Chain A
Amino acid sequence: MHLASRFCAVLIAALATITFNASAQTVTVITSFPKELTAAYKIAFEKTHPGITLEILNKNTVAGMAYLRELPVGQRPEVFWVSAPDAFEVLAREKLLASVVDLKNPQVPEKIGSFPINDPQGLYLGQALAGYGIMFNTRYLKANKLSAPSEWQDLLAPAWFNHVGITAPSRSGTMHLTVETILQSNGWNAGWNTLLRMSGNSAAVTERSFGVPDGVSNGQFGAGPVIDFFGLSAKYSGFPVEFVYPAETAIVPANIALVAGAKNPEAGKKFITFTLSQAGQEILLQPKVSRLPVLPYRELTSKVPANYPDPNAIAARSTVKFDTELSAARYEVVLKLFDQTITFRLKELQAATKAIFEAERKLKGATTGSQEELLAQARTLAYTPLVDDKQISDVAFLKIFSGNKKDPEVSKAISQFESDWNARSKERYERALDLAKKAAQ
């Protein structure tokens, strides 16, 4: 019984700590950033702000948004901090963000390229800059005799079949940005053509949002689309990887925002101010973090590593003008279309892609018109999006997807689209496979 009573005492003490902990001031941050980054900020912030504890809540962008929506006012975390700018647009529309306009660091420039760094409405502020590009493993490339890619198109070549790794935009806010960048620079149909062909060359659609950089770092994949800091942090930590910005890239701010209805808004503001200060910006240059600061390099006292990317130069060279409004408007459709036609149908897409490459190889030189036609049909079937550019600009269509999911009618309509896309893409990939095989005969 001694044991039991001692056990009860521990239980009570433990319950007491729950209550006690609440009275200390805490800032809770929802973020999708890796632990190296959040740990560095936690240590630095708590050192300069004694009495405030920084709590990190690691969730991917989409899960973080879902989590915020479900909490009542007064129970919400203070800070939302992820890469994807459109996530902030969505949250702002849902009135989940509070104004942070007075927390701006005046030394941060207004724009990067033509993109405003801070939200014009003052609901979120740029905290770091991020570009999207291709990360590749130099050892893998050498072993598989592949040449280093520099543009997205390079990853579509037959030589890259089964060597690419991608993730789904529904799992990773940064992948969604990459997808939007490609869609906006090529246009809807041509953009999906690139995406579908790149996915067809992929060995896997990784589940974890960090699956691609992780897979490239350890040599599972040769290359993959990632946000710059994944590539740079692996490179500067010593992995045999490189990172390139293609011309079709967008340099956009990774934002930080104050959540409306948070528990400790004042403490939350202190953290946001800290991340924008000179000390907070310099943390971004640590090798394991490797992000691009919003504060110009001349304002920083610590040394910028050699060959570190210059965001202004990349922005000047970039051919994309990123439209956040457009991206936010079709957010749900892009996520669901990608999942149903690529993530969940990868096997069929890979098989179709393989057959098309084989047919191309066989037909090279000696082609008859009908064979060429079959192959063209196969390509059209495999690489055309199931939602065309007319439908995606249809406001009524987009409205279905932004409806309230609790409404059974809405959720039924959406899942109807989902299962339809899923079934149709499977059928189309299988037909493409047949046609390509026929063409090769």
Chain B
Amino acid sequence: MQRLGGPALAALAILGFLGLFLLVPIAMVFFTAFSDAQGHATLGHFAVFFQQPLMLESFYNSLYVALSSSLAAALIAVPLAYLTVRFQFRGALLIQTLGVLPLIMPPFVGAVALQLIFGRSGSVNLLLDDWFGVTIPLMEGLNGVIFVEALHYFPFILMNLTISLRNIDGAMEEAALNLGARGWRLFSRIIFPLALPGFVAGVALVFVKVFDDLGTPLVLGATNMLAPQAYLRMTQVGTDDPMGYVISVMMIVFSIFAMWLSARVLKGRDYSTLQKGGSALQQRALSKGESILAYGWIGLIMLLVLSPHIGVLLLSFASIWSFAPLPDGYTFAHYATVFEQSPGMISNTLLYCGLAAGIDVVLGTGIAYLILRTKVVGRQWLDWMASAALAIPGLVLAIGYLRTFRGVLVPGTDILFTATWFLIMIAYAIRRLPYALRSCMAALQQVHQSLEEAAESMGATRLRTIRRVVIPLMAGGMLAGFVTSFITAAVELSATMMLVTKESQAPMSYGIYLYMQSTSGRGPGAALGVLAILAVALGTFASHWLVSRHQRLTQLHRREA
């Protein structure tokens, strides 16, 4: 009994945390959406939602944008993934870099920058108008949102699809070739269907992310969408407005529906191939023409992907940039302004994201251990609950917090709980938990149980085994999980915007948004953006380095064993 006590207690503690900061707030959102002023159950608010043309239009627009962005992202990602796996050429490294670059920038910062480059009077349109007398309305209305989101989120499809393609058994391709399938037919009938799981997972992720994004539509002025409507309702009418909760419920339902659909599409079909360890897909060398085509495509995508980065960089050094393809002059003043006015924002980001990522790793390791090494009843539920956070929009989680903790004081003081930064940090932790959890699970799966058995047979207690054997062996994966949580939390805006109550609490992501609210603030905002990108880029690089070092070490261990 004593032995069982530890894991069960840990499971209860994790359950308590997830319950308080995930289940209860979301339940509150549902409760408010389905109850009237007296607390009786009602569908009246939903009836109002479906009666308002604006709400219906927002709903339709959100769906349209999420679907189109997924499609556009797939158009960018599929050729790139196919190129890396199928052909021998040096562009593969370029493509891998491409897959990371967009993710290190908050999408709304990208939106500001893309407006300067592709907007009505952006560099590209000014030049096009000058030379050919035409302009491209790429950034107008919903097009702009789709363009920005597709550029930002295509790496999700690229990464998942690449892994799927790599796992295809080469024998399948050989069989198809023997039977005479070639070229497009080979790709569309054999290779792509076999890689479908990765593709669908990536597309579903893009859909959910776009559906939930608040900053990009706000910056681009596309208000007729669900997330902006919920935000505007909550901030302008107040947290009592039932419509905000109804929109929140719609957003959760559709996120979960998208996830369910992606699982459903794949259900009942077998994508595994029998042999493992056989050859992978054949890698062909590119002919000269193909080479030019491939590099051309990569170059074009690279240019598009880098344009927000270039835009922000230029803006951060620009003295004046107005109705001209390039700034009038360059200055370091914006960086000086940021360091003079807002060093707090940088340290806030480090503090919140560091704590959040720390909590994630502790929870992730705990859950991973409970699932893989114990038989605690209901342990699988912890995994499902933690992963469900992926489908909860940040905005909805924040709304749930404001509702749940309304009027609650910090114990022993007269400070409102909602007025502290604690909830911002917790929101980050909950939202990024799925990422850290995956890393920790993977890390623990790679630790062979015999090592722990050996330790325990030598007389070590369970706790001691965990401390001296399991954790050190998992360290690489845990660190990678920490970094992933950290960098994704650093660029989060939806929940932050709802939960920040004072400027001194603002992390960088909100600071950038705040600066971008005035003409003379654009420069400092961009400078802060560049600093955020640098920080996240460093973090990403560190996590890649850690993971690859860890993999090398484990391979080394295996070989020695």
Contacts and interface: CB of A to CB of B under 8 A. Distances in A.
Interface of A: 1, 4, 7, 10-11, 14-15, 18-19, 22, 28, 34-36, 38-39, 53, 55-59, 62-63, 66-67, 69-72, 74-75, 137, 139-140, 143, 170, 203-211, 213-214, 217-221, 230, 233-234, 237-241, 288, 340, 343-344, 347, 405-408, 411-412, 415, 418-419, 422-423, 426
Contact of A14 (B51, B52, B351): B351
Interface in B399-427: 406-407, 410, 412-416, 419-422
A187 to B, nearest CB: 28
A423 B53 contact: yes
A55 B503 contact: yes
B240 A406 contact: yes
Contact of A18 (B220, B354, B422): B422
Contacts of A208: 218-219, 221, 517
Nearest to B402: A70
Contacts of B416: 71, 75
B368 to A, nearest CB: 15
Contacts of A139: 322-324
B491 to A, nearest CB: 19
A240 B358 contact: no
B37 A233 contact: no
A209 to B, nearest CB: 8
Contacts of A426: 53
Nearest to B115: A220
Nearest to B221: A207
B54 interface: yes
A57 B503 contact: yes
Interface residues of B, number: 73
29 contacts: A18-B415, A19-B412, A19-B413, A22-B415, A34-B521, A35-B524, A36-B521, A59-B235, A63-B236, A69-B238, A206-B221, A207-B219, A207-B228, A208-B218, A210-B517, A210-B518, A214-B516, A218-B519, A220-B121, A233-B519, A233-B520, A234-B519, A240-B322, A344-B224, A405-B240, A406-B240, A408-B37, A418-B54, A422-B53
A146 B422 CA distance: 53
Nearest to A204: B221
Given A56-B502, A214-B518, A10 B235 contact: no
Nearest to A22: B415
B319 A238 contact: yes
B238 A412 contact: no
| Leading 5 A-B pairs by shortest Cβ distance | A219-B323, A34-B518, A219-B121, A139-B323, A63-B235
B320 A56 contact: no
Contact of A218 (B222, B223, B224, B321): B321
Contacts of A75: 414, 416, 419
Contacts of A240: 320, 322-323
B236 A288 contact: no
Nearest to B235: A63
Contacts of B413: 19, 22
Contacts of A408: 36-37, 44
B380 interface: no
A66 B37 contact: no
A343 B232 CA distance: 13
A22 B518 CA distance: 30
A170 B236 contact: yes
Contacts of B159: none
B520 A36 contact: yes
B266 interface: no
Nearest to A208: B517
B120 interface: yes
